Structure 1
Amino acid sequence: METLFWSCLAGGILFAVVSVVLGDLVSHALDGLLDFLSVDFLKPMVIASAVTVFGGAGVLLERYTGWGGLPVILLSAAAAVIISALVYWFYVRPMDNSENSTAYSIRELSGRIGEVTIPIPETGFGEVMIKLGAGNTVHIASSFDRHLLAAGTRVVVVDVLDGVLRVAKLDERRGDVV
């Protein structure tokens, strides 16, 4: 019985190491080959944690208690189910629901400070660059107050109308709109 527990523990640890080191390579190589196994809660992380905990709990219970085979197997299985459920609910599920995106809505630009890159005439259009995250974005802009805004002028986005940023000059001394 101890061999089974040690094998599960070693297999789980090996799976963790291989998935960290070679996870992307293996997933690209298999390219959906095992998708039929993708029941929501049967994720590889959950299965690997269950197998690892079963093995580790079995080794500990067998070594440090005087219990026989069946109670050790049942308690190890219970520990595996509990820990894998915790892994699923507190790690796997939140990660599935998380999104890593650099997308933004143009409506989110209201109130942002930018710099005029192409001069904005009183009644026409120019261009404004706004820093977003780690990069910059450039948008068509018009003057909110119908004033000429030269290139290099710092502006604030007052609102967005039909995909065009309506901007006003920013007073550098006070930090507000002129």
Structure 2
Amino acid sequence: MVAFYWGCLAGGALFALVSVVLGDILSSAFDGLLDFLSVDFLQPMVIATAITTLGGAGILLTKYSPLTTVVALLAAILIALGFAVAVFFGYVKPMQNSENSTGFSMNDLQGKIAEVTVTIPSNGFGEVLVRIGAGHTNQIAASFDAQGIADGSQVVVVDVREGIVYVSPLTI
């Protein structure tokens, strides 16, 4: 049984290494062929954790505890499941929720506060810096109220038409 545990430990470590190093290459090679197998909690990191922990716990329980082979196997399985659940909820799930994108829709800019970087004349165009998501974007801007707005002023995006943001001075 110890050989099985050593196999799990080595196999899990090898699986983790291969999935980290070759994961993107294999993913693009299969090009969604195995997507039907995709279950939320069956992530490579969770599987590698379970297999490796099963092997390590099995070795330790077999060598250093008075437990019988069957009880040691059941205890190793429970420990492996516990670690896999902890990795899923402690690392994998939060990382899935933290994915960021720098893409945005121009309509997302409505209601955002911006700073004028190039003075906006009453009947012309200037430029504003808008914080969106994890970054900033510069946009061509015009005055919504047809009044000049000096650079450095805080404004609010009122409307977006034809790729131009229409802003008004921010009054607090």
Q: With the length of structure 2 as denominator, give the TM-score of the two structures.
A: 0.79
SS at match of 1:79: helix
- Code of the aligned partner of 1:141: A
Structure 2 gaps of 5+ residues are: none
Q: Do 2:145 and 2:168's aligned partners in 1 also have CA atoms closer than 8 Å?
A: yes
**Amino-acid identity (%):** 41
Q: With the length of structure 1 as denominator, give the TM-score of the two structures.
A: 0.77
- Residue matched to 2:117: 115
Matching of residues 1-178 of structure 1 within 5 Å: 1-104=1-104, 105-107=108-110, 109-110=112-113, 112-116=114-118, 120-122=120-122, 124-130=123-129, 132=131, 134-142=135-143, 144=145, 146-147=147-148, 153-163=151-161, 164-168=165-169
- Code of the aligned partner of 1:2: V
Q: Do 1:126 and 1:141's aligned partners in 2 also have CA atoms closer than 8 Å?
A: yes
Q: Do 2:143 and 2:149's aligned partners in 1 also have CA atoms closer than 8 Å?
A: no
Q: Do 1:127 and 1:139's aligned partners in 2 also have CA atoms closer than 8 Å?
A: yes
Moved more, 47-56 or 36-45: 36-45
Distance 2:38 2:8 in 1: 22
Q: Do 1:120 and 1:143's aligned partners in 2 also have CA atoms closer than 8 Å?
A: no
SS at match of 1:154: coil
Larger Rg: 1
Structure 1 gaps of 5+ residues are: 169-175
Distance 2:149 2:38 in 1: 59
Q: Deviations over 1:100-153 (max 9, x none)?
A: 11245203532x22311xx6332x23031316455542132216472375xxx3
Structure 1's 113 and 129: CA in aligned 2 closer, same or farther, altered over 3 A? closer
Could you tell me how far 1:162 is from its partner in structure 2? 4.5
User: How many positions carry a matched residue from both structures?
Assistant: 163
Q: Deviations over 1:37-83 (max 9, x none)?
A: 21222222222211111001001111111323101101001111111
Q: Do 1:157 and 1:165's aligned partners in 2 also have CA atoms closer than 8 Å?
A: no
Structure 1's 62 and 148: CA in aligned 2 closer, same or farther, altered over 3 A? closer
